[in-house]
């Protein structure tokens, strides 16, 4: 008899918890949601976030307020998120540079990139074009690799961001070439020097590369996407250009502080999936060279772990020292 009573109590507790979780998800949100962005206003991540925030506000019936927390390669914004209450009222726009690369670039972070965040959904990826100044005597990726192998460390590349820097080092490792890295505080001055012929090569986001390639100011040798980019139809993929194992992107996702109720995470994931299937959202993102793609929280968690391991290997093999 006692055992039956105990089992009945357990089943009742489970039922009550399930009902409570469902009620929580149905009532959420009851106040504005803070949406942290680890870049300043006007950047690509800020634009993505503001579009998502607008759609979320319309769907959830509450304001979703973008809170820009730039600085320290995204560490400031991620730290603020990790320390926020895990109640579903703080979310953050994350990126591959922040979650997958920073753990191997910094000796110590104020948070754990896996343990301290709950994944919500992948948003999509930005792919890149390998571009060179017209003065570089190479009209194909094969030509460029041959040239670089003949002149080790004599050709240079510039980058003002983590993703393009690590992406180019990945390209170096995959092809066996050695290019000299010229660091910049941001991408605009690096691009200015490339256009002026001060640099030989850069990895540029597809959306930003198009007008310079179409105007003839730069030559595109390949794109890092699985398929050709519609606005650069004559530029081959890396596989088509002879580097089959290199598909590279800067991915963007949404996370929350660890400990948010599962029902709220599921509700936010469902909203993201719906938003990323909207034709106007797809059109807007693709016009910027951003390919939208949703995921389940579990898929994002597994993907993030695999990306951390992948870039740890790249950063070690490239000999990039930790800060």
For the chain, the structural domain boundaries read 25-125+251-317, 127-223
Q: What is the band of 6 on the pLDDT scale with cuts at 50, 70, 90?
A: low
Give the pair of three-digit tokens for residue 292.
């939208």
Q: What is the band of 16 on the pLDDT scale with cuts at 50, 70, 90?
A: low
CB of 100 closer than 8 Å to CB of 311: yes
Strands 156-159 and 180-183: parallel
Report d(CA 68, CA 15) in Å as an integer.
41
Report d(CA 78, CA 284) in Å as an integer.
26
Asked if domains 25-125+251-317 and 127-223 share a fold, the reply is: yes
SS3 content of the chain, % helix, strand, coil (to 5): 45, 20, 35
Report d(CA 207, CA 127) in Å as an integer.
9
Report d(CA 257, CA 112) in Å as an integer.
11
CATH class for the domain made up of 25-125+251-317: alpha beta
Average pLDDT over residues 38-61: 94
| 275 CB-near residues (< 8 Å, 6+ apart) | 52, 55, 56, 59, 281
Average pLDDT over residues 291-300: 96
Report d(CA 120, CA 98) in Å as an integer.
16
Is residue 20 pLDDT above 60, yes or no?
A: no
Distance of CA 199 to the CA centre of its chain: 26
Q: Pick the range with the lowest mean pLDDT from 20-29, 150-159, 301-310.
A: 20-29
Closest CA to 190 of 204, 178, 180: 204
Q: In this predicted model, which residue has the larger pLDDT, 179 or 246?
A: 179
Closest CA to 142 of 156, 128, 153, 132: 132
Q: Pick the range with the lowest mean pLDDT from 25-29, 209-213, 267-271, 273-277.
A: 25-29
pLDDT for 23 equals: 63
Report d(CA 272, CA 47) in Å as an integer.
16
Closest CA to 164 of 198, 135, 138, 201: 201
Closest CA to 308 of 102, 115, 76: 102
CATH for 127-223? 3.40.190.10
């Amino acid at each position: 008899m006692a055992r039956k009573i105990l089992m009945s109590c357990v089943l009742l507790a489970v039922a009550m918890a399930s009902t409570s979780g469902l009620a929580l998800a149905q009532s959420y949100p009851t106040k504005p949601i803070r949406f942290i962005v680890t870049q300043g206003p006007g950047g690509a991540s800020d634009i993505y976030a503001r579009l998502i925030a607008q759609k979320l506000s319309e769907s959830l019936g509450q304001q979703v307020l973008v809170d820009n927390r730039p600085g320290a390669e995204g560490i400031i914004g991620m730290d603020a998120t990790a320390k926020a209450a895990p109640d579903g009222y703080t979310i953050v726009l994350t990126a591959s540079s922040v979650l997958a690369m920073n753990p191997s670039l910094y000796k110590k972070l104020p948070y754990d990139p896996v343990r301290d965040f709950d994944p919500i959904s992948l948003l999509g990826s930005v792919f890149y074009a390998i571009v060179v100044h017209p003065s570089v005597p190479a009209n194909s990726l094969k030509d460029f690799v041959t040239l670089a192998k003949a002149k080790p460390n004599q050709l240079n590349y510039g980058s003002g961001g983590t993703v393009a820097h690590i992406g180019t080092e990945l390209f170096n490792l995959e092809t066996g070439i050695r290019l000299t890295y010229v660091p910049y505080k941001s991408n605009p001055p690096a691009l200015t020097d490339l256009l002026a012929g001060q640099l030989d090569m850069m990895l540029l986001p597809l959306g930003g590369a198009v007008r310079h390639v179409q105007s003839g100011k730069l030559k595109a040798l390949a794109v890092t996407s699985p398929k050709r980019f519609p606005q650069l139809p004559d530029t081959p993929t890396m596989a088509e250009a002879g580097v089959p194992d290199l598909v590279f992107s800067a991915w963007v996702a949404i996370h929350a502080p660890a400990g948010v109720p599962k029902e709220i995470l599921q509700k936010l994931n469902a909203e993201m999936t719906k938003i990323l299937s909207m034709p106007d959202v797809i059109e807007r993102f693709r016009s910027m060279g951003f390919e939208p793609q949703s995921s389940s929280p579990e898929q994002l968690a597994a993907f993030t772990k695999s990306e951390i391991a992948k870039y740890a290997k790249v950063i070690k093999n490239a000999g990039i020292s930790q800060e």
